[in-house]
Chains A and B, each alone.
Chain A
Amino acid sequence: MNLIILKPNKENLQTYLALGVILLGIGFFDITSNTFLNFNMTGFLPSIISYLSPLLLGTLGLYFIRIEYSGNITLDQINKNLNSSNINAILSLIVIFILIKYVPPLLNWAFIDANFLGNAKEDCTGDGACWVFVKVWFNRFMYGMYPDAEQWRINTSFLVLFGSIVSIFILPNKFKKYIILFLLFVFPVIALNLISGGIFGLKWIETGAWGGLSLTFIVSAFALIFCFPIGVFLALGRRSDLPAIKYSSIGFIELWRGVPLITVLFMSAVMFPMFLPDGTYMDKLMRVIIAITLFEAAYMAEVVRGGLQALPRGQYDAAKSLGMGYWRMHFLIIMPQALKLVIPGIANTFLALVKDTPLIFVVGLLELAGMIGLAKTNPEWLGMATEGYVFAAFVFWIICFAMSRYSQNLEKKLSTER
C-alpha cells in the first residue's frame, strides 16, 4: 500500500504535522463553508465524493498527525483521546461535524433569533423560538386554572414541604423522627385542606381547576406517601411463609406490574365508579391518586423486597434469639436496615413516578404537558407546540436529572459505607 511509504514517523515530525494540520484545516473549512456560506468548495467532484470530502480530508489529516511519543504533550493527548486508530479518527470527525452542523442552528433558534419581549404572538417577529408564549402562559403552566389570588396556598404548602425536607438534613437526629412523622401523617392533611380550601374561610377550589407543574408534584407526593406503607406490607407479604398471604401478595404485585399505567388510569376513570355504591361520587383527582398509589405500591414492594433479600440471615436469627415476635423483629431490626439499603431504589421509583404523571391527561387532568396541549390549541397561540414542549421537556429534565444524580450519589455513598 502507498500509505506505508508515507508512514508518519518522529524524524519528520514537523513535515507530517504541517501536512496533517493543513489537510484537517481544509476539511473543516469545507464543512463550515458548506454549512454557513452555502459554498461548496469541492463542487467540481462527483456528488458522493464531494459530500464525503471533509471526512476523507480530515481522516487523511488525522492519519498524518498520528505519531506516537512525538514529545509534544498536546499532540499526544489528542492522539490518545481522539485519534488512536483510523476508525476512532472517523468517529471523532463525524461527531465534530454533527456538532458544527446542528449546534449553531439550534443555538440560533433557542437564543440568538429568539423573541423574549412582548406579550402577544404578534411580538414574535424573529425567526427563532417565541419564548413570549412561555412567558405569557407561565402562570398557567405552573398552577393550571387555579385562581391567581389563591396561588400563595400552593406555594406555602410546597415551602413547608421543602423546609421540612431540608430540616431533616440540618437538625440533629433527635428531631428527625418527629419531622418524618409530621411529613407522613400531619402534612398531607394540612396541605390537602390548604390547597382545596373550604375551611377557615378559605375559598373552595375544586380539583378540576388544579393543574400545571404543581399538580405533578401534588400527585407524585401523595402517591409516594401512600404507596410506601402499602409497598412495605406487600413486600413482607411476598416473603411470608403463609401461603394464602404469599400468593395473594404475589398476585397483587404481578397484576399491577404487568399492565401499563394508562390502562390503570382508564380503569380509575371508567371502571372504578361502577364498583362504588350507587349514588356515591368520588373526586377524579382522588381516584387518580388511588390508582397511581396502587400501581406504584407494586413497584415499591419489589424495591423493598430487594432490600429484605439483601439482609444476611443472621439478622433474623439474632432478633429471634432475643425473643422478638414477627412484627417487633421486622419493625425494629429488619426494616430499618433494609430500607436504608434501598433508598436509591426508592428514589428511582419516585423518579419513575414523576415521569409517569403526565399520563393523567387521559382522565382529563391537565398537568404541565396537558396545559401545554391546551395552550397550543388556543386560537391566539397556534403553532407554538415546539416552544411549549421544549420548555416542558427542559423543566422535567432539570427535575429528573437532579433526582437521578442525587440517587446515584446516595448509591455510591451507601455502597462505600457497607
Chain B
Amino acid sequence: MNFKNFSIDLKNKKRLIPQALTLLFIVLAISYFTFNAQVNMGNRGIAFGFGFLTQEASFDIGFSLIDYDGSHSYARAFLVGLLNTLLVSAIGIIIATLIGVTVGIGRLSSNYLVAKFSEVYVEIFRNIPLLLQLFFWYFAALRALPLPEQAMNFNDISYLTVKGWYVPKFIWTNFSIFIYFVIAAIIAIIFVSKHAKKQREEFGKHIPSFYISTALLFLIPALSFLIAGVELEFEIPVLKQMSATIFNFRGGVSIIPELMALAMALSMYTATFIAENVRAGILGVGKGQKEAAASIGLTKTQILKLVVLPQALRIIIPPTTNQYLNLTKNSSLAAAIAYPDIVLVFAGTALMQTGRAIEIVSITMGTYLLLSLSISSFMNWYNQSLAIKEK
C-alpha cells in the first residue's frame, strides 16, 4: 500500500466516506463478535489463549510419521496431523501429475482408442464428487482386498491386504552421511548444468548435461556405500499368527488403507483437471511453431522437447498450480474416512477434548492459509523462472 497517496486520499471527502464506512463496519463487526465470544467463553469458564498447546494430549493417533503417543503435547499432535496432511498431499500431487500428464497427452493421441479411453476417464472422474469417490475406494474397493493370510503377494517382499499394504522397511546405518553425499550430488549437478549452459551459449559446444547429471545422481550416493560406511538393509514383512484365527504381518512398513484410499481418490480426481490443463497447453502452442520446427529439420522428439514443451509449460503451470492447491485443501476430506490428518486430529479430537473452538479452528484455518500461500508463491517463482526472458 502506498501510504503517501493514502494520506492525500484522506483529504478528499468523496473518497474518504465510503472507506471510513467500510473500516467502521469491519471494526464494529469484529468487536461485536469478540464481545460475544468473551461473554460466551466467560459463561463456560474458559479463557482465550494458546497455553493448552503444551498440555498433555492423552489420545492416540493411528498413523504417525514421528514419535507420538498420548503423553505428548497437543502441539506435537498438531505436528503429527500436519505431517500426515503434507504426506498425503505430496503423494497425491506426484501421482496426479503422472496420471494427468499421461491422460492429457493421451487425449491428443492419433490413436482413436487411446484418445477415447482418456476422454472417458476424464469425463467420469471429473463429474463425481470427490467425497463419493473417496467413500467408494475406502468402503467398497479396498474392503474387497483379501485377509492377511491370503494376501496379494508381490515377489515375497510386499503384501497387499485389507489391513493395509505392507512394504519393506529401509534400515539405514549412517543415514546422515548418505544425505551429505546426496547434497554433494545435487551441488555437482547444478555446477555441471551451469557449466554446460555457459559452454553452449559462449562457445556453442554441446555437453550432454542430462546424462551426466543422471549418472552423478546415482554414482555419488552409491560411492557413500563403498567408502563412508553407509549401509542399507531391508526389513521384509512376515506373516505371523496372532491367535488361533487371526493372522497379521509384522515388520516392514504398513501403509494404512485410509492413506491408500485418500491418495487414490485425490490423485484420480485431480488428474482429470491436470489432464485438461495439459491438453489445453499443448493445443495452445501454435501449429506454425511445430511446422517451422519441422521445416528446419528437427526430429519429432526434438520438436516436442525444444519447441512444444517449453511453450506449453507456460500455459500449463499456472492452472496446474491451482490444482495442486486444491488437492492440498481437498486432503482435508481425510476426516471423512478417519485418516489422521490435521482436520481430524486437531479440529476433531483435540477440539472435542479441550472445547477451545476459536483457537483450534483458527490455527487449522491459518495453517491451510499458510500452506496455500507458500505453494502459490513457490509456483509463482517457478513460473517466473520459466517465463520468456526478453533481452
Q: Which residues of A contact B (CB under 8 A)?
A: 80-82, 84, 88, 91-92, 95-96, 242-245, 247-248, 255, 257-264, 266-267, 270-271, 273-278, 354-359, 361-362, 369, 372-373, 376, 385-386, 389-390, 392-393, 396-397, 400-401, 404
Contact = CB atoms under 8 A, between A and B. Distances in A.
B113 interface: yes
Contacts of B130: 355
Nearest to A359: B131
A287 B141 CA distance: 34
11 contacts: A84-B110, A92-B111, A242-B9, A271-B361, A274-B37, A278-B43, A356-B129, A359-B131, A393-B132, A396-B132, A401-B127
Given A82-B113, A389-B135, A396-B129, A266 B361 contact: yes
Interface stretch (B193-201, B209-217, B327-335): B327-335
B33 interface: yes
Contact of B18 (A242, A255, A270, A358): A242
A91 B114 contact: yes
Contact of B357 (A259, A270, A362): A270
Contacts of B23: 244, 248
Nearest to A87: B111
A262 B343 contact: yes
Given A259-B368, A260-B329, A81 B357 contact: no
Nearest to B111: A88
Interface string B330-371: 101101100000010001000100000110011011001100
B124 interface: yes
B22 A248 contact: yes
A266 B343 contact: yes
A373 B135 CA distance: 9
Contact of A244 (B22, B123, B364, B373): B22
A393 B133 contact: yes
Contacts of A247: 1
A274 B22 contact: no
B113 A95 contact: yes
A260 B325 CA distance: 10
A369 B135 contact: yes
Interface of B: 1-2, 5-6, 9, 15, 18-20, 22-23, 26, 33, 36-37, 39-41, 43, 109-114, 117, 123-124, 126-133, 135-136, 139-140, 143, 329-330, 332-333, 335-336, 343, 347, 351, 357-358, 361-362, 364-365, 368-369, 372-373
B257 to A, nearest CB: 14
Contacts of A355: 128-130
B19 A258 contact: no
B365 A267 contact: yes
Contact of B128 (A92, A95, A396): A396
Contacts of A95: 113-114, 117
Nearest to B23: A244
Closest 10 CB pairs of A and B: A244-B19, A400-B127, A260-B329, A386-B140, A81-B112, A385-B139, A258-B372, A258-B369, A260-B332, A275-B33
B132 A389 contact: yes
Nearest to A81: B112
A263 B329 CA distance: 10
Given A386-B140, A389-B140, A401-B123, A258 B368 contact: yes
A213 to B, nearest CB: 12
A354 B131 CA distance: 12
Contact of A392 (B26, B36, B132, B351): B132
A3 B9 CA distance: 81
A404 B127 contact: yes
A416 to B, nearest CB: 18
Contacts of A91: 109, 111, 113-114
B111 A278 contact: no
Given A263-B365, A389-B135, 13 more contacts: A82-B111, A95-B114, A95-B117, A242-B9, A242-B18, A243-B6, A243-B9, A244-B22, A278-B40, A369-B132, A393-B128, A397-B124, A397-B127
Q: Which residue among A257, A261, A275, A278 has the maximum number of chain B CB atoms within 10 Å of its CB?
A: A275
A49 to B, nearest CB: 18
B1 A263 contact: no
Given A260-B332, A267-B361, A275 B135 contact: no
Contacts of A243: 1-2, 5-6, 9, 19
Contacts of B358: 271, 274
B22 A245 contact: yes
A355 to B, nearest CB: 4
A92 B6 CA distance: 65
A114 to B, nearest CB: 15
Contacts of B135: 369, 372-373, 385, 389
B321 to A, nearest CB: 13
B40 A274 contact: yes
Contacts of A357: 129
Contacts of A266: 343, 347, 361, 364
A176 to B, nearest CB: 30
A259 B365 CA distance: 6
Contacts of B364: 263, 266
A209 B307 CA distance: 60
Contacts of B372: 257-259
A127 to B, nearest CB: 14
A289 B373 CA distance: 26
Nearest to B362: A271
B9 A362 contact: no
